[in-house]
Amino acid sequence: MEKTIYLDNASTTKVDLNVVKAMNEFFLEDYANYSSNNHFGKKIKNEVEKARKKIANHIEAEENEIIFTTGGTESNNLAIKGLAYANPKKKHIITSEIEHPSVLEVCKMLEKKGYSVDYVGVNKEGLVDVKEIKSKIREDTLVVSIMHVNNEIGTIQPIEEIGRICREKRVYFHTDAVQSFKKIDIDVSKTNIDLLSVSGHKINGPKGIGFLYVKNGIKIEPLIEGGGQENNLRSGTINSPGIIGLSSALDIEIDKNEVKNSRDELLLELLKIPGTRLNGSREKRIYNNINVSFFGIEGGDLVDELGKKGIYISTGSACSSSKLNESYVLKAIKADPLYIHGSIRLTIDKLTKKEIDFVAENLKESVKKLRELSPFKLELNKMEMKNG
C-alpha cells in the first residue's frame, strides 16, 4: 500500500502510540468504575484525579475547575446553555459570525427562546473588532463567546484583550480553544477566561473525550442529569481510558517551528499557481494551517483528485461539511464567490521536503486538470492577462 499524506489534522489527529499504550492499561487491567467505592474503584479515581490535575496545570487552572466531557461540541453546549439556564435574567449573548457550529447553533436555539444575540463581523483576515465587542456589551449581557483559533482559516483571535474587557464589564467570557489547546500557551487567569472548551482528538489523543474549564465561583446548570459526577455538572460513567489518553497526549513533543517552516514552504508553492488566494491572516495564524482558494473550480473535486494520489485534505470544517455547501467563514471575510467554491484546507503535522514537493506537484496538476473542465476558464485567462 502506498504511503498516505494526511493533511486534515484540524479535523482529527492520529492517536499517538504512547497514548494508546497508556489507555490500554485502563481498558484491560485498571478497568474498574471511577465511582465504585471498593479498593479497585478508588485506585482508578486516584489515577483520574492525577490526570485532572495535570490537565489543569497545563492551563494554570485548579483541578476542580476541569469538567470532563465528550469533546468540544459538548463543552461549548455546556458552557453557553449552562450559563443561560443558571442566569435566566441575562438574555443577551455576543459571539462572532465565524464560530464553530456548536456555538452558532446553540445561539440560534436560544434566540428562539427569547434571547438576543449579536453576531459580530470579522475583517478580511478573519479577525474580530474588539472595540465592536465592547460597544455591544449591555446590562443584560450574559456571555461573550469568541473562539481562540478558527477551525477553517486558522486565524488567532485577541482573546486576552477580549477577556480584559469582559472582566471590566463583569461579563462572562467563554472561548472555544479546540484548535489552539497545546499549540498556543494558555493561562486562563492572565487571559481572564471564565470558560474554555477543549477536545482530545485534536492533539493526538482519543476521540470522545474533552473538557470544559469553569472558573471557580461561576454557576452553570448541567445538561445531563444522573449520578452527579463531575461536580454535579456532567452525570454519567467517567471515561477513565479517555481521560488518561488526553492527559498522556500532553507529553507529546512537537517542534512547532519545524511544522511552521513546512507549512510556509508548501504555501509558497501553492501561491505560485495562478488564480490562488490565501484565506485568513498571514501573520495571526495558527502554525499548521493553510486555507487557500483556487479560482473557478470546486474544492470538493480537488479533494477527490488528491485522494486518488493518497493525499488527504478537506474543504473546511468536518463538523459542518454535511450541512453547508458554501463556507460561512469565507463568506464572512468577504471572499469572492468564485474563490469560495474552490477553497481547501490543509492542516499539517510535519512534512519532509520530498512530501512537500509531492503535495505541491499533485496540487498543481489537479488544479490544471480541473480548470481545463471549468466553465470559468476564459475569465481566468482574462484575469491572468490583466495581472500580467
Catalytic residue list = 319
* C-alpha 343 chain-centroid distance: 18
Strand (E) or helix (H) holding 46: helix 39-58
Long-range contacts at 50-59 (CB < 8 A, ≥ 24 apart): 50/247, 51/243, 51/244, 51/246, 51/247, 52/243, 54/247, 54/250, 55/211, 55/246, 55/247, 55/250, 56/213, 58/182, 58/250, 59/181, 59/186, 59/187, 59/188, 59/196, 59/213
The DSSP annotation for 58-73 comes to HTT--GGGEEEESSHH
Strand partners, 225: none
The cell for 319 is 463538523
- The grid coordinates of residue 91 equal 438574555
Give the three cell numbers for residue 102.
456548536
Helix (H, G, I), strand (E, B) or coil at 292: strand
Please state, as a whole number, how many other Cβ atoms lie within 10 Å of the Cβ of residue 375.
Answer: 7
Query: Is 206 in contact with 19 (CB distance < 8 Å)?
Result: yes
- With H, G, I as helix, E, B as strand and everything else as coil, classify residue 314: strand
Q: Environment class of residue 273 by beta-carbon count within 10 Å: exposed (0-12), middle (13-18) or buried (19+)?
A: middle
DSSP string for 114-162: T-EEEEE-B-TTS-B-HHHHHHH--TTEEEEE--SB-TTT-BBP-HHHH
Three-state DSSP at 76 gives helix
The residue type at 145: S
- In one letter, which amino acid is 227? G
The whole-angstrom separation of Cα 90 and Cα 93 is: 8
